[in-house]
Structure 1
Amino acid sequence: MSHPDQIYTRNTLLGALSANDLALLKPHFCRVDIAREDVLVHADKPVEHVYFLDQGVASIVAAIGSHRPTEVGIFGRDGVSATCLLLGSDRSPHQTFIQVGSGTALRIDTAPYLEAVRASETLRLTLLRFVQTMLVQAAHSTATNAHHRIEARLARWLLMCHDRVDGDEIAITHDFLGLMIAAERSGVTVSLHILEGAGMIRAKRGRVIIRDREMLCELAGDSYGVPEAQYRHLIGPMGRDMDEG
């Protein structure tokens, strides 16, 4: 853990802040290591820390009764954890954990984070814009799971994850993929074979390698792109267009 004097971050949400707004947060940041399955937000417990990721992909999951959890949101270096704090709640019914990759994040305690948000209307507005993108993403995920086949849902999730990682390799198991796209493991396995047979991906034990992003976009169709466009409209570049820019 370190307390950086100079803030270097690849987090695009922080990059969208003004110098004055970033200065409100900067003294309270510490850089921490994150690894797969690390929990950032515990369900139904007061949020103690807020994380701005530099690497890795976090999943927000909802659990209903004895049913297995289902992913309801995903973010990486495009966002921040614990959006419930921005909406007046000190806790969330949903758990957030690192699902892909490892690396570092800038962490800030809840109290100084909320103090900064209260002190600056422009900071609050920028962070609320991110909340809006997550609401759009969750709504689009619901529609996608209701109307699209598993192959399209898988293509969409791989594209969303590809937007948030370096390179073309995504470390993920079949069981985790099932949780992410609300599908049984057997359905995920069959869908991976279909995508691999078409040359879109290469599936290996515990990882998926993206081979043809354009074909994945065609398969995902209108299930992919709306939340991403919302982010670009409200906040700035994200995903693969950051590399192009």
Structure 2
Amino acid sequence: MEDETLNAEDAGSLQASRMEDNALLRVLDEAARAALAPHLELVPFRNGDMIARAGDPADSICFPLTGIAAVLDSLEGDRRYAVALVGNEGFIGWPLILGDGRWPHDVVMRAEHGVAMRLSAEALYGTIAEHPEIRTVLLRFVGVLMTQMSRTIVSSLAHSIERRMARWILLYHDRVCEDDICMTHEEFRLMLGVRRSSVTDALHKLEEDEAIRSLRGRVIVRDRERLLRLAGDTYGFAEAEYRRLLLG
């Protein structure tokens, strides 16, 4: 019995330590984290795994610990386009916070294998009833995500392919652990909405500027400051809002 108790305590300690890997969970006070901890389930995802599918019931939310969740919107003819990225700074499952029970987008794991902490809708609502500040934190992140999405729209209308590519590489770079990032031509097509030849040309221009090195299926960030200059005002506003609303 004693060994079982120790094992349970070790498991609880591990759960609490993994919660620290998600910045949004770290924002919550100790009482809110303690209330959530027993309901959180560690879930692995492989690169390319579908986390959510548009139109399916939304019955849980996920707090990524590693990896990138790409949010994709779909058009007729199975055309899909990336509209936002979420890493360990946030959560997936905002329809439940906004009163909707269905996923409006596809969500796919990108860049690397990932791990998330999943929370059922029932546990979410029950915990929020006792700790309403959790809803406030989650809604603030939803606001930041909407800001990221709006900048994606405006950038697609107003900026060159090279500038938009620099922005997407920065968004990936923010959410992975290394400068060497798994980014394929297909992913750039989803993000930029252009042909593969245009992706290749844009990658070559960023290489000429010595901002990146492009390899087969990978991008290595060589100079982040140059990427920031290339991205210009396509990048930075949503990131500043995150700091203001959640870290300030």
**TM-score normalised by L of structure 1:** 0.92
Structure label with greater radius of gyration: 2
Contact between 1:4 and 1:30, CA under 8 Å: does it hold in 2?
no
| CA apart distance, 1:117 | 2.3
Q: What residue identity is the alignment partner of 2:74?
A: A
Q: Give the SS at the match of 2:17.
A: coil
Is residue 8 of structure 1 aligned with residue 17 of structure 2?
yes
- For 1:14-53, what per-residue CA distance to the aligned partner results, in whole angstroms no more than 9, with x for missing partners? 0101111112211011212221111222210112332111
Match of 2:29 in 1: 18
Mapping of residues 1-245 of structure 1, within 5 Å: 4-6=11-13, 7-9=16-18, 10-66=21-77, 68-236=79-247
Q: What residue identity is the alignment partner of 1:64?
A: L
Any gaps of 5 or more consecutive residues in structure 1?
Answer: 238-245
Q: Equivalents in 1 of 2:77, 2:54: separation in Å?
A: 15
| CA apart distance, 1:142 | 0.5
Contact between 2:73 and 2:80, CA under 8 Å: does it hold in 1?
yes
Any gaps of 5 or more consecutive residues in structure 2?
Answer: 1-7
Contact between 1:4 and 1:31, CA under 8 Å: does it hold in 2?
no
Q: Give the SS at the match of 2:75.
A: coil
Q: Give the SS at the match of 1:199.
A: coil
Contact between 1:33 and 1:105, CA under 8 Å: does it hold in 2?
yes
Q: Choose 86-95 or 177-186, whichever is displaced more.
A: 177-186
Q: Choose 62-71 or 77-86, whichever is displaced more.
A: 62-71
Query: Between the two proteins, what is the percent identity of the paired residues?
Result: 36
Q: Equivalents in 1 of 2:195, 2:35: separation in Å?
A: 45
> Which 4+ runs in 1 deviate beyond 4 A?
none
Q: Equivalents in 2 of 1:22, 1:40: separation in Å?
A: 24
Computed over aligned residues only, the root mean square deviation of the Cα atoms, in angstroms, reads 1.6
Q: Equivalents in 1 of 2:129, 2:53: separation in Å?
A: 24
Contact between 2:68 and 2:114, CA under 8 Å: does it hold in 1?
no
Q: What residue identity is the alignment partner of 1:23?
A: A
- For 1:133-172, what per-residue CA distance to the aligned partner results, in whole angstroms no more than 9, with x for missing partners? 0010111110011000000000000001101110101102
